[in-house]
Chains A and B, each alone.
Chain A
């Protein structure tokens, strides 16, 4: 299953219960709610939305930014083309 990048932003925003805008520039550095608990919420939410596909992607456990998440999801063919 593939999702749009914008949908991933929404998933992360909801997982973090953040009031901030979440986009490709968002990271642990600039998003208050993105701490260790926030990270667990993101990993859970992604796995739920991608129907179990992301829990097998080990690299996701160490991500610290949306850019990294998008890159990993793209490399695993889980995002729709942006065009």
Chain B
């Protein structure tokens, strides 16, 4: 696709929750061990009256007003919608004061969500349905996770990112591929949510079967990546950076080992921000761009994986 990413911004809530802080109400937790395995010792969490929509709007408002007014397509990636209906993207259109000639829709995807949005937004630009698309990824999983949940609370951060994509004279979004394993949908799920849970009691609560999700990632993702590369006449050596969703240390170390990728080709920042779900890939890209670590013509492989269970890969040649 002759489409390129032209700007990435992100916003994190102001409240930082450290492992030390969580230990105060969970005295039995071995926080050194948790940090050793997850690589995460602090996360960003929203206040009660702050929602994913608020974070998304703040991330988007880091883009200049002039650019925002040129947007004709808004894709909002979230699993923390403001309401069951209307579409949250429509509310964002109003909050950002975008003009009315804008298509707005949500994509309900998690850690692979940014790759999905890039594929959909890129296709719309390629097909001249849009000239400039704004993707906003935002989630607040912390609202689904009690403070005594040792599996999930130490990992997931709330956060939002805003990404501008537009036409380019050369092909920058090169290839996409997706896989879905719906038989694992219960392995990462918000219980007591949605219409299936209307008659059940209790608050929405995130459940993750960490063992199954780890096994899924280790067994499916490396093969998927290798197949993707082979199908495109590439190999590991042709990729300059593997931009993985920043799940956690144990997951990413296993993926690196199984794919035998050189450490310097796998940038990481889960230690700075935690697992920010669909925003983790754009936040990592923004970090790398700010450090001038993404060079012109580099081949980037963006790799999202998680809830669904879903896998998504995008090959990007940086313009």
Report which A residues bind B (CB closer than 8 A). 17, 36-37, 39-41, 43-44, 47-48, 52, 55-56, 58, 60-62
Contacts and interface: CB of A to CB of B under 8 A. Distances in A.
A55 B218 contact: yes
B91 interface: no
Contacts of A36: 150-151, 210-211
B34 interface: yes
Contact of A52 (B211, B214, B250, B258): B258
Contacts of B219: 55-56
Interface in B127-161: 150-151
Contacts of B85: none
18 contacts: A17-B33, A36-B151, A36-B210, A37-B33, A37-B150, A39-B210, A40-B250, A43-B214, A43-B215, A44-B214, A44-B254, A47-B218, A48-B254, A48-B257, A52-B258, A58-B215, A61-B211, A62-B212
B97 interface: no
Contact of A61 (B33, B150, B209, B250): B209
B37 interface: yes
Interface of B: 33-34, 37, 150-151, 209-212, 214-215, 218-219, 222, 250, 253-254, 257-258
Contacts of A58: 212, 215
B34 A47 contact: no
Contacts of A37: 33-34, 37, 150
Nearest to B213: A61
B42 to A, nearest CB: 18
A47 B216 CA distance: 13
A56 B138 CA distance: 32
Nearest to A39: B211
Contacts of A39: 210-211
A56 to B, nearest CB: 5
B257 A40 contact: no
B215 A61 contact: yes
Given A37-B33, A37-B34, A55-B219, A47 B211 contact: no
Contact of B250 (A41, A56, A60, A62): A41
Nearest to A47: B218
